Amino acid sequence: MGKAYLVLMGILLCSKLYESASNSLWRWKCNQSAGACTRVSGDVDATLYPSLETCRLVCGTAGGLWPQPTVGTVLSDGLFQFSLSSLKFEFASEDNDVTTYLKEIADLFNKTLSSISASNCSNTDNTVTISIVVLTNNMDLNWKTDEGYNLEILTAGKENSVKISANTIFGARHALETVSQLIELFSNNNGEVCHVIVDEAKISDAPNYNHRGLLLDTARNFLSISSIKKHVDGMAHSKLNVLHWHITDSQSFPLELPTLPNMTKYGAYSDSKIYHPTDIAELISYAKLRGVRIIIEIDAPSHAGNGWQWGPDAGLGDLSVCINQQPWRSFCIQPPCGQLNPVNSNLYKVLKDLYSDVINMLPKGEVFHMGGDEVYIPCWNSTPEIIAYLGDKPRTTETFLDLWSDYQAQALEAFDSAVGNTNTPIILWTSHLTEVSVIEKYLSKTRYVIQTWVPAADTLPQNLLDLGYQIIASTKDTWYLDHGFWGNTVYHNWRVVYNNKIPTASGTLGGEVCMWGELVDDSSVESRVWPRAAAAAERLWSNPKTNADQAERRFYRHRERLVSRGINAEALTPRWCYQNEGEC
Amino acid sequence: MGKAYLVLMGILLCSKLYESASNSLWRWKCNQSAGACTRVSGDVDATLYPSLETCRLVCGTAGGLWPQPTVGTVLSDGLFQFSLSSLKFEFASEDNDVTTYLKEIADLFNKTLSSISASNCSNTDNTVTISIVVLTNNMDLNWKTDEGYNLEILTAGKENSVKISANTIFGARHALETVSQLIELFSNNNGEVCHVIVDEAKISDAPNYNHRGLLLDTARNFLSISSIKKHVDGMAHSKLNVLHWHITDSQSFPLELPTLPNMTKYGAYSDSKIYHPTDIAELISYAKLRGVRIIIEIDAPSHAGNGWQWGPDAGLGDLSVCINQQPWRSFCIQPPCGQLNPVNSNLYKVLKDLYSDVINMLPKGEVFHMGGDEVYIPCWNSTPEIIAYLGDKPRTTETFLDLWSDYQAQALEAFDSAVGNTNTPIILWTSHLTEVSVIEKYLSKTRYVIQTWVPAADTLPQNLLDLGYQIIASTKDTWYLDHGFWGNTVYHNWRVVYNNKIPTASGTLGGEVCMWGELVDDSSVESRVWPRAAAAAERLWSNPKTNADQAERRFYRHRERLVSRGINAEALTPRWCYQNEGEC
């Protein structure tokens, strides 16, 4: 497919575009070498587009695609007009499950396009056929899933064909996401609104990292299932693939456990602020259809208070200590306090039940996040039961780290006993246990993946990689989306998020942006996360050598796309700057 | 009304409350001396409330009221249960317009209460009667309007009566807002959800400042009418009374002017991003019913570019200069550039038409905001037409200030000519023209009100007061709601907003929090403004000597109230801290 030919096609079709532009004063001109769409007042010129959105489809190497494809991208600058009613799908798979999945993502694709509502388009002579070939029957989404795809668009006369091939359904899903970004609305000269698709394209694409995540915290403040679904939508549109669900913390325990009903009885904020197992199942299936897996974190032994009060009444003793204790500054880092009681053997029986209940909600073999951050020694060191247990041992930091690692070993044993094998990967946050000098003593590198939450300048992630650990990076001073609203933290705008680079060594599974929940709930969480999480999405998918300045036009477009797809992504710039690329 | 009696009543009724509490583990206890509602697990105790919300209604001097009343507040700690269907209104006014207004605000009141949905309440024996007396027929909302009110609630057997008296309909409206804050939902022992109202209360209230404003900027990014209405709702619930509408700027001109259709043709972002005169009329009436007046700002001579391009084509020459000029840093403070052309006499004819059109949309005599900030001399000083006009004059700062003040004088003349008198108050932002050393030369203190936008430490507001000017304070480093997301600015949390004190001299009409629009549009503007604007509302209404720490419990409650009334106010704290007053 020669570029000269494409340009010719482009001019040909663009001249048709101009005729059919609306009555507005403005047109857009693509300067291909600068990759910029410039707003001009409407002189007759065959190279003009009727809207910024149609110009952006084809202007610059990656047009309006987000994240930018990694292996190769060729886009024509011509557009093909069609009606949604004349778009059809073809699937080539012998496998029923695969075909069912493909039908469902095709339905979602149609729904997404219908939501950017074309009205009364009568052009049904032009047809678009999307054919999808999936080469394996693998339905699992994990760190080894091949999410790559190839995509080709060709136009012959009145027939536009989109050919997708991928090794897995997830690659095919990403391809459809890309196709949806090659389509825009278009007002034609009959006063109708139709869709247009880029008429020729060839894209080969695969992610740089297999773990591309967003952390949501539903313990500081509850998030409704419908709010969480909105985030999954945004992730799907940006090709993020892991929702890390920090579901409990010392403030609340909103996860209903069939075996342990006391956890929500004591720990939920109210009867309406509970996640039932049916909610979890529904969400997991909702997310899978959108290329997203859900990893559950039950943070422990610290960050565990409310929900755990019922031990004494049940004759099990204190399962957690320092719960809601005051003055909190003496017993924890953030109120309310609460830290599991590692010396109560009943705790591990309860943990086994807890893990069992959670595992039953998850796909077989799914990894599990055990938290493990911010154990606060003064709590344990002021608890008589623990002091008695330690007996003559000196109550030094090392003694308490040993106690903590004992807890971790017994918790892991409880987990393994619940799951019935010893090979589920476990994720832990960096902590005193993961310091380079001690981690090999405490945590097996074949069993634990370490999630780092240190500033960009900290060498810990690289040091852990050097020791042979696998890591997930959540760079604290760039990817913590709660910053800027408390203490001395500063807000990380999308450029800071985008420019954050994480280690490229193969032990780096990927990274996560973190939406800690102290200061967000349903009212504002959507615009706090979006579109900034999408900036991290391109870093994790494409990991370009360039920085935010080079991504600005596509990112501005992607923000508008998220909004048009129902996500309250916050504004990035005055609209004039969006409409006048490169002028601000 | 003796407090002892009230307490007795309270205990009596509270014991009934306890019996009818829901099955939840938790109850709330009011510690009246600390003014705190404490969560306790449900032992039988006659002084417990079934929810934080019912406890907060009556706990502490001002219960859950926001803003706190100024003259006097006495609240019983007893509650009276009723069904909305047995609530009725009585109005005492001979005036039809007054009665119509009262009926409409009564409807709104009912609508607000219905939105916190009580279900299947069968208690219709208990009745609530709200009677409203308005002593004048004055329907105008301006800087002299008496917004005060008196409110008394009494209970006799099955009859609860709420007596409101006020000098104006606006005082009566505020009183109803207060009554709505003395009502909560309540789950009774029949499995029904009813409303409860504080059974005895006596409140006397009036604002400290007559200008209590929120600035919205619809030029950097367009805000839909429905979004603006949400802000008006939030203002009504918080007793703010001025929506300052920064409707145009250099980026866009979204206000349709019947006489000057080119302004939106050139200046609107799109056909759907235009405010039509019917929209303005509808909004003004919507706002008035909610105790809010709308003040329109057409910023000039700077901050005026897009929309003004049509002069040359119409044979009027350049009405604005430096429009969208690059490199923008040489011609303005923020792109795109644009500054009215003071030496083009046609400009003043156009301004007269513009003012005429705007005045026609406003209530008779409404004040007008002429902007007047950030004139950037290098623009004028690089414009050949202006340089030629100045001729031999030295092109010093003073020369350009004189030119600017000439512009201002002619603009005022155009305005007065359009309105037909010379006494409409004009508001201007502080600028080089308003410096203490020159303001008396340039701006009449009987005609202009100065809106200051300097940091809290700046003495300018007090200096202008000392000179005899009236001011409106928009303290830049506390009340600019856009800060924290760009440059070196920091986010002002609600405590900073609340703690900002403005001059108390009588020349201080009041203040405004400012939501500049570069980085917000419909997607996030609601949670960016709320509940922080409500923190300023109490500062402007009550101006308490105390600070945010003393207001925390009521403010947390008010944030929840805003959310329950449909406003996406952002979260202030983990919900645990809301449910456990004073523990975080």
Task: Kindly list the distances between the CA atom of residue A481 and the CA atoms of A2, A527, A528, B304, in Å, as whole numbers in the listed order.
Answer: 44, 11, 7, 35
Chain B residues close to A307, C-beta within 8 Å: none
CB proximity list for A219: less than 8 A, separation 6 or greater: A246, A247, A248, A249, A250, A251, A252, A253, A254, A299, A303, A517
CA distance A80 to A13: 8
CATH number of the structural domain spanning residue A119: 3.30.379.10
Closest C-alpha among B424, B498, B503, B496 to residue B467: B503
Domain residues for A141? Answer: 61-205
The reply to whether residue B573 touches residue A324, judged by beta carbons under 8 angstroms, is: no
Tell me what pLDDT residue B181 has.
98
The reply to whether residue A24 touches residue B271, judged by beta carbons under 8 angstroms, is: yes
Closest C-alpha among A407, A252, A265, A415 to residue A344: A407
CA distance B402 to A241: 62
Instruction: Render pLDDT for B172-207 as a digit per residue (tens, 0 to 9).
Output: 999 999 999 999 998 777 778 899 999 999 999 999
C-alpha distance from A343 to closest chain B C-alpha (Å): 27
Give the closest of B326, B490, B521 to A571, CB-based.
B521
Task: Give the torsion sign (CA, A398, A403, A409, A415).
Answer: negative
Chain B residues close to A577, C-beta within 8 Å: 335
CA distance A379 to A382: 5
- What the block records as the tokens of A240 is 């993020």
Instruction: Go through A526-540 and write b for each residue having 16 or more CB atoms within 10 A of its CB, e for each that does not.
Output: bbbbbbbbbbbbbbb
C-alpha distance from B70 to closest chain A C-alpha (Å): 30
Cis peptide bond upstream of B531, omega within 30:
yes
The overall pTM is greater than 0.80? yes
Task: Kindly list the distances between the CA atom of residue B338 and the CA atoms of A353, B306, B324, B331, in Å, as whole numbers in the listed order.
Answer: 68, 7, 6, 8
Q: Show which of A153, A173, A205 is a domain's final residue.
A: A205
CA distance B547 to A379: 33
Tell me what pLDDT residue A192 has.
84
Chain A interface disruption, residue of B489, B518, B575, most A CBs within 10 A:
B575
Q: Kindly report the number of other CB atoms within 10 A of residue B141's CB atom.
A: 23
**Both B373 and B520 in a single domain?**
yes
| Residue B404 included in any domain | yes
Chain B interface disruption, residue of A54, A570, A579, most B CBs within 10 A:
A570
> What DSSP character marks residue A393?
S
In the predicted model, residues of chain A with pLDDT beneath 50 are: 1-21
Give the closest of A273, A336, A493 to B583, CB-based.
A336
Angle between helices A397-419 and A345-361 (to 10 degrees): 50
**Both B451 and B316 in a single domain?**
yes
**Sequence-separated contacts (24+) of A438-442 with Cβ below 8 Å:** A438/A401, A439/A464, A439/A467, A439/A469, A440/A467, A441/A405, A442/A401, A442/A405, A442/A408
Closest C-alpha among A332, A336, A330, A413 to residue A374: A332
Q: Three-state secondary structure along B364-404?
A: CCCCEEEECCCCCHHHHCCCHHHHHHHCCCCCCHHHHHHHH
Task: Kindly list the distances between the CA atom of residue A467 and the CA atoms of A74, A294, A452, A463, B512, in Å, as whole numbers in the listed order.
Answer: 41, 28, 14, 6, 57
**Both B72 and B219 in a single domain?**
no
CA distance A41 to A388: 82
Chain A residues close to B43, C-beta within 8 Å: none
Q: Show which of A205, A232, A255 is a domain's final residue.
A: A205
CA distance A295 to A275: 15
What string of DSSP letters covers A20-73?
A: T--S-SEEEEEETTTTEEEEEE----TTEESSHHHHHHHSSTTTT-SSPPSSEE
Chain B residues close to A335, C-beta within 8 Å: 576-577, 583-584
C-alpha distance from B491 to closest chain A C-alpha (Å): 6
Closest C-alpha among B179, B155, B208, B159 to residue B105: B179
| Residue B500 included in any domain | yes
Chain A residues close to B484, C-beta within 8 Å: 484-485, 491
The reply to whether residue B524 touches residue A520, judged by beta carbons under 8 angstroms, is: no
C-alpha distance from A573 to closest chain B C-alpha (Å): 5
| Residue B195 included in any domain | yes
The alpha carbon of residue B358 and the mean position of all alpha carbons in its chain are separated, in whole angstroms, by 21
CA distance B235 to B223: 17
Instruction: Render pLDDT for B269-293 as a digit per residue (tens, 0 to 9).
Output: 999 999 999 999 999 999 999 999 9
Could you tell me what percentage of chain B is helix, strand and coil, using 3-state DSSP and rounding each to the nearest 5?
Answer: 35, 20, 45
The predicted model gives B46-75 an average pLDDT of: 94
pLDDT band at B3 (very low <50, low <70, confident <90, very high): very low
Chain B residues close to A221, C-beta within 8 Å: 571, 574-575
> What DSSP character marks residue B569?
P
Could you list the active site residues of B?
374
The reply to whether residue A584 touches residue B520, judged by beta carbons under 8 angstroms, is: no
CA distance B266 to B255: 11
The reply to whether residue A518 touches residue B574, judged by beta carbons under 8 angstroms, is: yes
- What the block records as the tokens of A189 is 């000269």
Task: Give the torsion sign (CA, A186, A187, A189, A190).
Answer: positive
The reply to whether residue B251 touches residue A568, judged by beta carbons under 8 angstroms, is: no
CA distance B574 to B584: 9
Tell me what pLDDT residue A43 has.
65
Q: Is the Cβ–Cβ distance between A518 and A336 less than 8 Å?
A: no
Chain B interface disruption, residue of A329, A494, A576, most B CBs within 10 A:
A576
- What the block records as the tokens of A312 is 């004494």
Task: Kindly list the distances between the CA atom of residue B125 and the CA atoms of A281, A306, B9, in Å, as whole numbers in the listed order.
Answer: 46, 41, 19
CB proximity list for B469: less than 8 A, separation 6 or greater: B439, B445, B448, B449, B450, B507
C-alpha distance from A28 to closest chain B C-alpha (Å): 14
Question: In degrees, to the nearest 5, what angle opens at C-alpha A298 toward C-alphas B41 and A379?
Answer: 60
Task: Kindly list the distances between the CA atom of residue B129 and the CA atoms of A44, A96, A320, B79, B133, in Å, as whole numbers in the listed order.
Answer: 70, 66, 51, 15, 13
pLDDT band at B115 (very low <50, low <70, confident <90, very high): confident
Start-to-end CA distance of chain B, whole Å, equals: 36
CA distance B429 to B302: 12
C-alpha distance from A469 to closest chain B C-alpha (Å): 34
> What DSSP character marks residue A263?
H
* Chain pair A-B, CB pairs under 8 angstroms: 129
The reply to whether residue A484 touches residue B485, judged by beta carbons under 8 angstroms, is: yes
**Both B239 and B154 in a single domain?**
no
- What the block records as the tokens of B415 is 């305005």
**Both B151 and B267 in a single domain?**
no
CA distance B460 to A370: 56
Task: Kindly list the distances between the CA atom of residue A163 and the CA atoms of A185, A204, B392, in Å, as whole numbers in the listed order.
Answer: 22, 12, 72
Give the closest of A273, A520, A571 to B221, CB-based.
A571
C-alpha distance from A261 to closest chain B C-alpha (Å): 13
The reply to whether residue B524 touches residue A571, judged by beta carbons under 8 angstroms, is: yes
Measured between CA atoms, the residue of chain A closest to residue B569 is A523
CA distance B127 to B466: 54
Instruction: Render pLDDT for B417-447 as a digit per residue (tens, 0 to 9).
Output: 999 999 999 999 999 999 999 999 999 999 9
| Residue B360 included in any domain | yes
| Residue A24 included in any domain | no
**Both A218 and A342 in a single domain?**
yes
Chain B interface disruption, residue of A22, A119, A222, A527, most B CBs within 10 A:
A527
The reply to whether residue A584 touches residue B335, judged by beta carbons under 8 angstroms, is: yes
Phi, psi dihedral angles at A399 (to 5 degrees): -60, -45
The reply to whether residue B252 touches residue A575, judged by beta carbons under 8 angstroms, is: yes
| Residue B37 included in any domain | no
**Both A440 and A306 in a single domain?**
yes
Give the closest of B25, B336, B576 to A336, CB-based.
B576
Number of H helices, E strands in chain A: 19, 22
Chain A residues close to B526, C-beta within 8 Å: 523
Measured between CA atoms, the residue of chain A closest to residue B563 is A523
Beta strands in A254-316 (DSSP E): 293-300
The more confident residue out of B13 and A315 is A315
% of chain B beyond a pLDDT of 90? 90
CB proximity list for B331: less than 8 A, separation 6 or greater: B322, B325, B337, B376, B378, B379, B382
**Both A409 and A473 in a single domain?**
yes
Chain B residues close to A563, C-beta within 8 Å: 523
**Both B141 and B227 in a single domain?**
no
C-alpha distance from B566 to closest chain A C-alpha (Å): 10
The number of domains in chain A is 2
Measured between CA atoms, the residue of chain B closest to residue A217 is B574
| Residue B504 included in any domain | yes
Give the closest of B490, B521, B576 to A252, CB-based.
B576
Specify the 3-state DSSP secondary structure of A383.
Answer: coil
Give the closest of B336, B490, B527 to A583, CB-based.
B336
Tell me what pLDDT residue A119 has.
74
CATH number of the structural domain spanning residue B501: 3.20.20.80
Q: Is the Cβ–Cβ distance between A202 and A254 less than 8 Å?
A: no
Tell me what pLDDT residue A44 has.
60
Which of these ranges, A363-372, B17-26, B217-226, has the smallest mean pLDDT?
B17-26
CA distance B32 to B74: 13
C-alpha distance from A575 to closest chain B C-alpha (Å): 6
CA distance A364 to A348: 22
**Both B510 and B469 in a single domain?**
yes
The reply to whether residue B251 touches residue A576, judged by beta carbons under 8 angstroms, is: yes
Q: Which of A152, A374, A413, A518 is catalytic?
A: A374
Instruction: Render pLDDT for B548-561 as a digit per residue (tens, 0 to 9).
Output: 999 999 999 999 99
Instruction: Go through B284-302 and write b for each residue having 16 or more CB atoms within 10 A of its CB, e for each that does not.
Output: bebbbbbbbbbbbbbbbbb
What Rg do the C-alpha atoms of chain B give, in angstroms? 26
The more confident residue out of B376 and B14 is B376
The reply to whether residue A574 touches residue B221, judged by beta carbons under 8 angstroms, is: yes
Q: Kindly report the number of other CB atoms within 10 A of residue B305's CB atom.
A: 30
Tell me what pLDDT residue B44 has.
60
Instruction: Render pLDDT for B297-352 as a digit per residue (tens, 0 to 9).
Output: 999 999 999 999 999 999 999 999 999 999 999 999 999 999 999 999 999 999 99
| Residue A569 included in any domain | no
The reply to whether residue B521 touches residue A575, judged by beta carbons under 8 angstroms, is: yes
The reply to whether residue A524 touches residue B521, judged by beta carbons under 8 angstroms, is: no
The reply to whether residue A265 touches residue B574, judged by beta carbons under 8 angstroms, is: no
**Both B459 and B319 in a single domain?**
yes
CA distance B238 to B67: 6
- What the block records as the tokens of A572 is 């990035």
Instruction: Render pLDDT for B442-492 as a digit per residue (tens, 0 to 9).
Output: 999 999 999 999 999 999 999 999 999 999 999 999 999 999 999 999 999
Chain A interface disruption, residue of B522, B570, B579, most A CBs within 10 A:
B570
Give the closest of A335, A493, A520 to B485, CB-based.
A493
**Both B186 and B261 in a single domain?**
no
